[in-house]
Amino acid sequence: MSLIASLRTPRGLITALLLLVLAVLPLLTQAFDQRYLLSIGTRIVIWAIAAISLNMILGYGGMVSFGHAVFFGIGGYAVGILSHHGVASGFVQWPVAIVAATLWAALVGALSLRTRGLYFIMITLAFAQLVFYVGGGLEAYGADDGLNISRSRFPGLIDMRDKASFYWLCFALLCGTLWFCSRFANARFGLVIRGAKSNELRMMALGFPVFRYRLAAFTLSGAFGGLAGILLANEGAYISPAMMSWVKSGDLIVIVVLGGMGTLFGPLYGTIAFFVLEESLKPLLDLLRKGWGEYWQIVFGPMLVLIALYARGGIDSLFGRRHG
Amino acid sequence: MDYLLLQVLNGVQLGLLMFLLAAGLTLTFGIMDLVNLAHGSLYMMGAYIAWMLIGWTDSFVLGALLALPATFLLGVVVEAIVMRRLYVRDHLEQVLATFGLILFFNELVRVIWGPAGKSIAVPAFLNRTVEILPGVPYPAYRFAIIVVGALVAILLAWLVARTRIGMLIRAGASNRRMIGALGVNIELLFTLVFGLGAVFAGLAGLMAAPITSVKIGMGDDILILAFVIIVIGGIGSIKGAFVAAMVVGQIDIVGRAFLPDFLKTFLSASAASSAAPAISQVLIYIVMAGVLVWRPTGLFGQRT
Domains annotated for chain A, with CATH where assigned, are 8-319 (1.10.3470)
Amino acid identity of residue A120, one-letter, is F
Q: Please, which residues bridge with residue A148 across strands? A: A238
Q: With a cut of 50, say whether residue A82 has pLDDT above it.
A: yes
CA dist., res. A166 & res. A39, Å (int): 10
Amino acid identity of residue B99, one-letter, is F
Question: Between the CA atoms of A36, A40, A45 and A46, what dihedral angle is there, to the nearest 10 degrees?
Answer: 110
Phi and psi torsions of A153, nearest 5°:
-110, 130
Burial class (CB in 10 A: 0-12, 13-18, 19+), B186: buried
Burial class (CB in 10 A: 0-12, 13-18, 19+), A36: exposed
Q: Kindly report the three-state secondary structure assignment for every residue of chain B.
A: CHHHHHHHHHHHHHHHHHHHHHHHHHHHHHHHCCCCCCHHHHHHHHHHHHHHHHHHHCCHHHHHHHHHHHHHHHHHHHHHHHHHHHCCCCHHHHHHHHHHHHHHHHHHHHHHHCCCCECCCCCHHHCCEEEEECCEEEEHHHHHHHHHHHHHHHHHHHHHHHCHHHHHHHHHHHCHHHHHHCCCCHHHHHHHHHHHHHHHHHHHHHHHCCCCCECCCHHHHHHHHHHHHHHHHCCCCHHHHHHHHHHHHHHHHHHHHHHHHHHHCCCCHHHHHHHHHHHHHHHHHHHHHHHHHHCCCCCCCCCC
CA B177 to chain centre: 28
The CATH number assigned to the domain holding B182 equals 1.10.3470
Find chain B residues with C-beta within 8 A of A300's C-beta: 100, 103
Q: Residue A6's pLDDT is what?
A: 67
Phi and psi torsions of A61, nearest 5°:
-100, -10
Looking at the domain assignment, is residue B235 inside a domain?
yes
Structural domain including B271 reads 2-294
Looking at the domain assignment, is residue B299 inside a domain?
no
Amino acid identity of residue B221, one-letter, is D
Q: Which H or E run includes A320?
A: none
Q: What is the DSSP letter of A311?
A: -
> Cβ distance A41 to A25 under 8 Å?
yes
**Average pLDDT value for residue range B206-217:** 89
Looking at the domain assignment, is residue B303 inside a domain?
no
Find chain B residues with C-beta within 8 A of A307's C-beta: 96, 100
User: How many structural domains comprise chain B?
Assistant: 1
When mean pLDDT is compared over A117-121, A311-315, B38-42, B263-267, the highest value belongs to B38-42
Q: With a cut of 90, say whether residue B172 has pLDDT above it.
A: no
Looking at the domain assignment, is residue B105 inside a domain?
yes
Q: Residue B303's pLDDT is what?
A: 57
Model pTM score: 0.89
| Inter-chain touch A139–B275, beta carbons under 8 Å | yes
Residue of higher predicted confidence among A101 and B239: A101
> Cβ distance B282 to A241 under 8 Å?
no
Handedness of CA B84, B85, B91, B96 (dihedral sign): negative
Q: With a cut of 70, say whether residue A39 has pLDDT above it.
A: yes
Confidence of residue B280 (pLDDT cuts 50, 70, 90): confident
Confidence of residue B137 (pLDDT cuts 50, 70, 90): confident
- Measure B26 CA to nearest chain A CA, in Å: 11
Q: With a cut of 50, say whether residue A324 has pLDDT above it.
A: no
CA dist., res. A155 & res. A253, Å (int): 36
- Which range has the worst mean pLDDT, A261-275, B143-157, B254-268? B254-268
Q: Residue B1's pLDDT is what?
A: 66
Looking at the domain assignment, is residue B300 inside a domain?
no
Burial class (CB in 10 A: 0-12, 13-18, 19+), A155: exposed
What ipTM was predicted for this assembly? 0.84
Q: Residue B296's pLDDT is what?
A: 81
Looking at the domain assignment, is residue B231 inside a domain?
yes
Interface test with A, best of B44, B89, B91, B92 (most A CBs within 10 A): B92
Average pLDDT, chain B: 87
CA dist., res. A159 & res. A319, Å (int): 38
Find chain A residues with C-beta within 8 A of B82's C-beta: 305
Q: What confidence tens digit (pLDDT) does each residue in A240-295 have?
A: 999 999 989 999 999 999 998 889 999 999 999 999 988 888 888 888 877 777 78
Looking at the domain assignment, is residue B55 inside a domain?
yes
Which percentage of chain A shows pLDDT scores above 70? 97
| Inter-chain touch A130–B281, beta carbons under 8 Å | yes
| Inter-chain touch A115–B292, beta carbons under 8 Å | yes
Find chain B residues with C-beta within 8 A of A302's C-beta: 100, 104
When mean pLDDT is compared over A29-33, A155-159, B177-181, B241-245, the highest value belongs to B241-245
Q: Residue A47's pLDDT is what?
A: 97
Interface test with B, best of A60, A77, A130, A147 (most B CBs within 10 A): A130
Tell me the C-alpha to C-alpha distance, in Å, between residue B129 and each of B125, B149, B211, B254: 10, 18, 15, 22
Residue of higher predicted confidence among A116 and A291: A116
- Which range has the worst mean pLDDT, A194-203, B27-36, B204-213? B27-36
Q: Kindly report the three-state secondary structure assignment for every residue of B219-273.
A: HHHHHHHHHHHHHHHCCCCHHHHHHHHHHHHHHHHHHHHHHHHHHHCCCCHHHHH
Burial class (CB in 10 A: 0-12, 13-18, 19+), A65: buried
- Measure B191 CA to nearest chain A CA, in Å: 19
CA dist., res. A211 & res. A115, Å (int): 11
Q: With a cut of 50, say whether residue B265 has pLDDT above it.
A: yes
Q: Residue A176's pLDDT is what?
A: 95
**Average pLDDT value for residue range A130-156:** 85
CA dist., res. A207 & res. A205, Å (int): 5
Q: Shortest CB distance from A114 goes to which of B82, B103, B293?
A: B293
Among all residues of chain A, which has the CA nearest to that of B36?
A: A118
Pairing of strands A238-239, A147-148: antiparallel
Q: Shortest CB distance from B282 goes to which of A125, A133, A254?
A: A133
Among all residues of chain A, which has the CA nearest to that of B270?
A: A139
Looking at the domain assignment, is residue B249 inside a domain?
yes
Contacts A–B by Cβ distance under 8 A: 143
Which percentage of chain B shows pLDDT scores above 90? 37
